[in-house]
Amino acid sequence: MMKNVCEMYPKSRLVIVGFSMGGNIVVRYLAEDKSRQKSIVCAVSWCQGYDGLRSTHSLSFGCGRFYNYMVTMNFKKILKPHWNELFYMNNTSNSKYDEKKVKLATTIAEIEDGLLRHFDGHKSGHDYKAKCGCAHIIHNINVPLLLLNSEDDPLIKPDVHDIPMKYSKKSEKALFATLQHGGHLGFYRGKWYKPDTTTLLETLSMEYIEAILENV
């Protein structure tokens, strides 16, 4: 998609923003191929986990387990219209993927092990998680990058904040910040019974982007 956008608007400078898993995708997109950074003015990542292994422990407990289940069920709904294409090719079973594991999955890890890890030839679900984060390649980014997390995020615990903190200390173009409250992509403002129509998420993102654009 980004390649098509860049080809359609070759003279445009772009801003890229990602939330949660999307934040990891943003960083990986920029870090995996430095040529992709040429058309990017700046990037923003909200509430991502950075490390595929360390950031997923909370998905096995409390509200994290419920979130894990709901994401898995929604993921399976997305897969449903494409089920035959994934698991049956030319009316024969595609043994490359584990249809039974995916069908019975109640956790993201089971989806990863039964399906996702096979896309890039990972040997196991553990191997997939170890390489799907951005911690090991984030240092390749050389455009302004804002990394934001909340300290009370029930899914992404503060014990992974050392990764963006270390990176931001080494890179003059990186900024890592945490908010005391906000949960996982909450950041509501106003009264609890009548929150504002915009959250700190939109406000801070736009303030950062506008500040960068003013100095380009």
Active site residues: 20, 153, 184
Q: What is the DSSP string of 121-147?
A: T-SSHHHHHHHHSSTTTGGG--S-EEE
Helix ranges (H only) for 18-161 are 21-32, 62-79, 83-87, 99-104, 108-111, 117-119, 125-132
Burial of 140 (C-beta count, 10 Å sphere; 0-12/13-18/19+): middle
Half-sphere exposure of 83 (CA within 13 A, CB side): 9
| Whether the Cβ atoms of residue 72 and residue 102 lie closer than 8 Å to each other | no
The answer to whether the CB of 160 falls within 8 A of the CB of 48 is no
Question: Tokens 């960068």 belong to which residue?
Answer: 212
